[in-house]
Chain A
Amino acid sequence: MAENHIKSSEITPESLYLNRRNFIRAGLLAGTGIATGLTYRYFNPPPLIVEPAAEIATVVEKPGLSTMETPNTFEEITNYNNFYEFSTRKGAVAGAAKDFVTRPWTVEVGGMVQKPRIFDIDELLKFDQEERIYRFRCVEAWSMVIPWIGFPLKKILDQVEPLGSAKYVAFETYYGGKSGNPDAKLPHGPNGMQSSFSAGIDFPYVEGLRLDEAMHPLTILATGLYGRQMPNQNGAPIRLIVPWKYGFKSIKSIVKITLKDAEPPTTWNIANSDEYGFYSNVNPEVDHPRWSQGSERRIGEVSMRPTLMFNGYADQVASLYSGMDLRKYF
């Protein structure tokens, strides 16, 4: 030992060496673990808690058209949305739409009508507001029960007096706020919305109904839910609700309604005509290539439940389609 060039005092004691190694290992475990956890969080951020909007002062009760089923919670309804102008992730729409400005806002109603008109949103909010608790079935095989507030679309259509030649109603969602009509008043600019490229579908979003579908008493323009004004992510300030059709037919944040004599183009049909038809009535018999339409998951429930023909509204609406091959006109 005397010949050893290294002084024993210079040799790292084994215990210290092990300590150092353990220290590095602990650091590696903690460091990589935190990095992995943060990466996970970055891709899966916690849902945003949405403050409910102002209450709608007077709601007229009209029993008979609402379902008796228990509605989904406000949190469920306002944190799980398909609104591609803001985000293609259902949980991210609420956050992305929180700064969406919806005043001033007008809805331009024209086309094949006697009296084309521009309605200010505050004018529309003065219509009798009714509560309609409807089932809502998305084409992605999930569903909810939602207590909408609104009024029949028929009310507005009656005011503009459709011509006899009008057979269809076309709708358009806000996008950029530009309008050819100088009397239309809308917020300008992107207003928080993303590009059509990011969403993968054409904007502005357009939808359409046959005139008899539009005049049906179940079809409403909704201005709110749960007794409060419409949250941005659910289609503020005014949207369509057609409860017997897949959710994407119920177009959000409407700025234009046009009466036409021919079937209008619809966004998802343009994007993929094999999968999304003009009618898009809820139909458990006609399968979609990606979602089995025979059953659905009601949000809040664990197992699937069977999907009902016309989303359970067959008694009221089946007659609209008598004699039609619903496989062909899906």
Chain B
Amino acid sequence: MNDVKFNRFLISLNALIPLVLLGYDGWRGQLGANPIEFFLRTTGVMTLVFLLVTLAVTPLRKAFGWNGLIKYRRMLGLFAFFYGCLHLVTYSIFDKSLDLAAIGADIIQRPFIAIGMTAFFLLIPLAITSTNGWVKRLGGKNWAKLHKLTYVIAVLGVIHFWMIVKSDIFYPAMFGFVLAGLLIYRLVPKLKGKPQAGDVKKVPQS
């Protein structure tokens, strides 16, 4: 196994540990009195965690010169999609009994559901185009442009989390804080007009 393959395996193992522990706790009956709500909340939080980790790849590369990290960014994004799917499936089956009309009514009545749904549906094209074939088909530039949607998705995700909390906003605020940091990191050089990684044209070719 070469290093890239091993690192992929290492990341996958760690990414699946929360799910394994969720399953194990569920099997032991240790998810508390409302296991479905617990599963729903935890998969939602994991979706946000992976969205933020995905967005942290570029700053980490630049700050520490860990350029190799880029090889794992798409799979980190796919784990966000994976936990997002679990989150939506749990809600659809256990909260809504797979009743599409009820889900539709919920989207209209409850703004935080509408925001969460929007975020999820924006993730779908990103997940589909995460293969090498699609990067080629779209061309690197277009692909990168499309995948800028990740910012929108992460912002919607944090708002979605913030809106379900009744009063103690600590955790959504933490996610919001980290996300704000990641966004500011990208905005500041742009505002200063400094060259960006990937901004090939602006980089002097000497």
Contact = CB atoms under 8 A, between A and B. Distances in A.
A91 B33 CA distance: 8
Nearest to B169: A200
Contacts of A200: 166-169
Contact of A84 (B10, B167, B170): B167
Contact of A36 (B18, B106, B112): B18
A271 B21 contact: no
A167 interface: no
Interface stretch (A26-34, A126-134, A176-184): A26-34
B206 interface: no
Contact of B18 (A40, A47, A271, A292): A40
Given A25-B6, A302-B94, A304-B97, A201 B33 contact: no
Interface of A (DSSP majority class) = loop
B167 A88 contact: yes
A46 interface: yes
Nearest to A196: B167
A228 interface: no
B17 A290 contact: no
Interface stretch (B34-42, B59-67, B127-135, B180-188): B34-42
Contacts, number: 90
Contacts of B96: 304
B109 interface: yes
A72 B34 CA distance: 12
Interface string B105-124: 01001111000000000000
Contacts of B97: 303-304
Given A90-B33, A290-B164, 17 more contacts: A40-B18, A41-B21, A44-B25, A44-B42, A46-B25, A46-B30, A47-B30, A84-B167, A88-B166, A91-B32, A142-B37, A199-B167, A201-B167, A291-B110, A297-B36, A304-B96, A304-B97
Interface of B: 6, 9-10, 13-14, 17-18, 21, 25, 30, 32-34, 36-38, 42, 94-97, 106, 109-112, 163-164, 166-170
